[in-house]
Each structure stands twice: as structure tokens, then as C-alpha cells.
Structure 1
Amino acid sequence: MDQPKPENLILMTREPNGIAYVTINRPRSLNSLTKSMMTDMARAFKSLDRDESVRVVILSGSGRAFCSGIDLTTAEDVFKGDVKDIESDPVVQMELCRKPIIGAISGFAVTAGFEIALACDVLIAAKGAKFIDTHARFGIFPSWGLSQKLARIIGPNRAREASLTATPVTAEQGERWGLVNHVVEEGELMKKAQEVALAMIKNNQDLVLRYKSVINDGLKLDLGNALALEKERGHEYYKGMSKEQFKKMQEFIAGRGSKKPSSKL
């Protein structure tokens, strides 16, 4: 007698247009994460990073939530496991992923789910979405960056209030504070995420990857060192270009100058 196949809790698909999709697919548990789901998610992002046909990744959750955090019935297995194993750490693999990651957030992004959202490069949120940090409420210590990243994005005072009170940050508040790029109707969420993804795909892919890298790496430094990093990578980039590449760049820019500007997002 055949055994039933285990449910695929992390879905990964690739489209011919260069967009890949990663979906947290445990809707009956509000997409709470088990250890095996975390490992599968980490492997998915590592695989997409290596796939040269993939230009942008859209991350979402199925059902009523983006991700409600760690499944607390498996908490000890998660928190006392090999926390230094980057191969099974989805946030580390998202941060190592060279491709831009767009988070499509509907419902709740709670605690670990909030941290996964913060590992995205751009956030699109549906109206009614909420970001909630419950670390302080449940006695869980943050380890995927929430205590550091949120303050850098929305400011330390707002971050302290959100984290120390466990008060939800709505999609609309998040947009005002610079956490969320766009707030849209629920039915328009994936359409907007795809629109932003396609706008990225239209650009020079090598430069998109380099630009994401220099922004994200620079955010880890003080301004002086970040500016030096930009200059260093800029010189490295131009030094590696041939005369033919410079000529093509000039021809491309000249050709673009004769066209009408494209519409904004």
C-alpha cells in the first residue's frame, strides 16, 4: 500500500520571464515554521541564487498569513539546534542571495515571520497586513536580525515601542515609516509584486546584482566606509570593462535618450 506523500510546505516555482516564487505553504497553521521547513526554505534560496535564469524572487505565504513565526511545538528543536549551520538558515541564505527578493505580505508577519520579511529587499503589503514582534511577550530572544534591522529602517524609538510592547505595525504605518514600499488591495498584491519585479528585470542584470550588493553591504558600515566601499567597487567594475563594452554602453545610452521616458511604477 502506497504511503501518502508528505505535504510540500515550501513551494518553489520558476517562470520563463525570470521571476521565481517561493511560497510558505502551511496555511492551516498560519505558515508557522518547523525545522524542516526552515531547511527547505534555505535550500530554495540557495538554489535560486545559483540559477542564472532567475532574475528576481517573490516570497509570499499561502492563506491568511505571510508567516506566523516558529511553530512553538517544535521550539526546542529549532532554538537549541545548530544555530550556526548557515545551510539550514533561511534568513542567512536570503541575505546571501544575490537576486533581489520582493516580499509579498498579506495577513500577519509575526516574530520570525517579521524577521523573514526584513530579509527581503522590497516589501509589498496588502491592506490589513500586520507586522508583529512578540519576542518580548513570549520570552524568545531574537536571532534573525529584528533587534538591529528594524531600528535602522523605522528609527530606534519606533522600533523600541513596536518590540517592547509587541504592538502591531500595520501595513499603512509601515509604509509611512519606510518599512513597506507599497500598500495595495489584497487582490492586487501579487500583481504589484510582479510589476516591481519586471521593472527590475528590464535593467542591466549584472548592475542590478552589484547594486543590491553594494546597498546591502554598505548598510552594515558607517557612512564613511560605505562611501569608500562604493568607490572601490565602482573602480573595480569600470576597470574590468573593455573598450567594446564602453562603446556599447555609450550606444545604449544614446539610443535611450532618443526615446520617451518609460512610465513610473
Structure 2
Amino acid sequence: MADLVKREDENGLAILTFNRPEKLNSLTVGMFRELRAHIAGLRKDDTIGCVVIRGAGKCFSAGHDLADIAEGEEVPSRGWHSETLRMMEKLPKPVIAAVHGHCYTGALEVALAADFILAADNARFGDTHAKWALTPVWGMSQRLPRRVGIATAKRLMFTADMIDADEAVRIGLAEYAVPADSFDTEIRALGQKILANSAFSHAANKRLLEATDGGPLDAGLQWEVMETEGTGPDMQERIAAFASKRK
């Protein structure tokens, strides 16, 4: 039986792929269970410095599987999906959501739990909770307004409109968009660019940004000074390598 979420490692980059393409990668409890296991493994894996989450086939994911919802899902505990995404969000290494094709509702909640979204130019985003008389419990109400602003979040949530990659970039939902035919190349190039920098700094910066997000500026500045994690174990080596290149 094929994995519902595949993991492939490439030179320090871990690529997690939703692998239910015949169902447009619609998200089930089984998929989340495998995603959670991968996240737990990645937290302890020092060979991996960057994580990409993406979808197999035509799209990232069409969202939460409506058939599963209608039948009544059996989840290990209340808030288990949200907890899983929070675990991913708090990984001490950069996490990129690489989105092509559909990225709707539950899938958008997954993508928003990554550090940022890279979009193919054929990506389409939307929150359809209101279309189905649902309310979010995976994080949409918290992460979407933090990413795009509360008024834009309300517009997207109230209208259930679908937006394309260019609009997603314009409102700050996605960082940038690339042609679909060069998407795979860009994913790996971006991953390697991140991996070239300090894993110590990446982890420390994620913790710093998390601790001070949304707080008063003066409190954040004080936190940055007083709670600094200092320098990484490879600082001298990196500086020496730079100096030798200049000579």
C-alpha cells in the first residue's frame, strides 16, 4: 500500500508529498496521521535542514475530504488536526509549502502552518468553510489574518472566492509565483539556498519571530536583546571561509 504522505530526502532537504492524487490529495485522518509521524521524525533528524510540503499529481490538495466529514471522522482527540499543524509550524527548521493547482480550505490551513508559501502560477487558493456551513478548527481564523490582514481574511472567508497565484502574491498570502514548468527546479533551488545558511540561525530566528509576533515593538526589541541565543557553533568556520575567499 502506497504511503499517503511520502518523504524523500535530497541533500539535507526533506520533501513531504501528499500522495492521494486520484482524490486530488483530499485530506483524511490517515493522511494527517502519517504527516504527524513525519513531523515527529523530522524534529529529531539533524541531517535535514529544510522541509518542503507539496502534493502529488494535479494539485497541492483540494482540502479536507468532505466524504470523511459527512461520515463522521474518528480523530484521536479534539483539536488533533490543529495540534498536528502546530507541531509542523514549530519545527526548528524552515518549512515551505510548495503549492500548485488547488489549495482550498483545509489545504490552505496546512499551507499557512508552513513558514511561507511558494506558488506555481497555476495555483488557486480559497477558504470555502462558509460554503458548506462549516467553521475552521485547524487554524484558518488565526493564521490567515496574520498573513494577509483581518479585512482581507474576512473578504476571503465571507465570499469563499477562489484567487489565483498573482492575487495570492499581491495580498501577501504567497511569497512569489513561478511558472509551473519550472516549479520543481525552483523548489529545490530555494531549498538549497536556505540550506547554505546556518541551521542554528534558522532555528533561533524562528523562535524569536514566534515569541514576539504581534507584540509591542519595544517589548520585542527588549526580547531580542535579552533572549538572544548568541552565535552558532559554525560561526568562526563560516567567517574564516568568507575571509579566505576574499584573499
TM norm structure 1: 0.84
Deviation, 1:83, is 2.1
1:145 aligns with 2:131: no
Task: Look up the equivalent residue of 2:43 and give its one-letter code.
Answer: D
Structure 1 Cα separation of the partners of residues 40 and 189 of structure 2: 24
Residue deviations 1:158-187 (CA, integer Å, cap 9, x gap): 111111000012110111122211201112
Deviation, 1:250, is 6.0
| 2:33 aligns with one of 14, 36, 39 | 39
Q: CA RMSD in A?
A: 2.4
Larger radius of gyration: 1
**In structure 1, what is the equivalent of residue 3 of structure 2?**
8
Deviation, 1:92, is 2.1
Structure 2 Cα separation of the partners of residues 139 and 81 of structure 1: 24
Quickly say closer, same or farther: Cα 1:50–1:173, change in 2 above 3 A.
same
Structure 1 Cα separation of the partners of residues 237 and 31 of structure 2: 48
**In structure 2, what is the equivalent of residue 99 of structure 1?**
93
Aligned partner of residue 237 in structure 1, secondary structure: coil
Deviation, 1:252, is 4.2
1:129-140 → structure 2 map (5 Å cutoff): 129-140=123-134
Task: Look up the equivalent residue of 1:47 and give its one-letter code.
Answer: G
TM norm structure 2: 0.89
Structure 2 Cα separation of the partners of residues 85 and 251 of structure 1: 42
Aligned length: 245
| 1:49 aligns with one of 43, 55, 61 | 43
**In structure 2, what is the equivalent of residue 208 of structure 1?**
202
Structure 2 Cα separation of the partners of residues 12 and 142 of structure 1: 27
1:121 aligns with 2:138: no
1:174-213 → structure 2 map (5 Å cutoff): 174-213=168-207
Residue deviations 1:9-38 (CA, integer Å, cap 9, x gap): 1111212x1001100011111100111111
5+ residue gaps, structure 1, are 1-5, 261-265
| 2:77 aligns with one of 75, 82, 102 | 82
Please tell me whether the aligned partners of residues 79 and 137 of structure 2 are also in contact (alpha carbons under 8 angstroms): no
